[in-house]
Amino acid sequence: MPQQRSDRIAISPNRSTRDRGPQVPTNERIRHREVRVIDEDGNQLGIMPTQQALAIAQERGLDLVEVASQANPPVCRIIDYGKWQYEQKKKQHEAKKKQTVISVKEIKLRPSIGEHDYEFKKNNALRALEDGDKVKASVRFIGREITHRELGERVLARLEKDLAHVATVEVRPKMEGMTMFVIFAPKK
């Protein structure tokens, strides 16, 4: 007996579908009995049934948008929803633009670091500080080197002195397991 092949595609119940609807309740999606209404000019029209507020919004050719659902009664505005949504996105974009992101760059040193290696790592730290990033300088001790912590402290103290003109020490030298570290922040 030949097998029958089904050409139907099974849709998984766990598959996420993109909700393209409004994220803020608008017009008929507002589920409150009474709402406080503010018109397009910012004037309060008072507390009224949702259907009455919706009728006023439709009469003016605008949308009824819920702006404060936690209030008692919830606050709705009569506005052009598309324009309002555009302005909200624009505000978010401007706020994001003004944010300053400070990252922490790490340089790893050893207690017995060579002169050239030290200069190379110092210059990398200097470059990162001038770019506005913080720098975490860490000295890793391996094996018995941990008994000579003063060598690590000496390396970090030298680095602190060399970077003093562009950085301030945010975290003093601190031990964390087999690693000693210090964090530098750029001077304002």
How many domains are contained in the chain? 2
**What is the domain range of residue 147?**
104-186
Q: Is 41 a member of any domain?
A: yes
Can you list the positions of beta strands (E) in 51-92?
A: 63-68, 75-79
Q: Kindly state whether residues 75 and 118 are assigned to the same domain.
A: no
Q: Kindly state whether residues 123 and 182 are assigned to the same domain.
A: yes
Rounded to the nearest 10°, the torsion over CA 63, 68, 74, 76 is -20
- CA angle, residues 45, 51, 54, in degrees to nearest 5: 60
Q: Kindly state whether residues 149 and 172 are assigned to the same domain.
A: yes
- Residue 107 is predicted with a pLDDT of 93
Tell which of 96, 120, 146 closes a domain: 96
User: 3-state DSSP: the chain helix, strand, coil percent, rounded to 5?
Assistant: 35, 30, 35
Tens digits of pLDDT across the chain (188 residues): 555 555 555 554 554 555 555 577 788 888 888 889 988 888 888 888 888 888 888 888 888 888 888 888 889 888 888 888 888 899 888 888 877 777 889 999 999 889 999 999 999 999 999 888 999 999 999 988 888 888 888 999 999 999 989 898 888 888 888 899 999 999 87
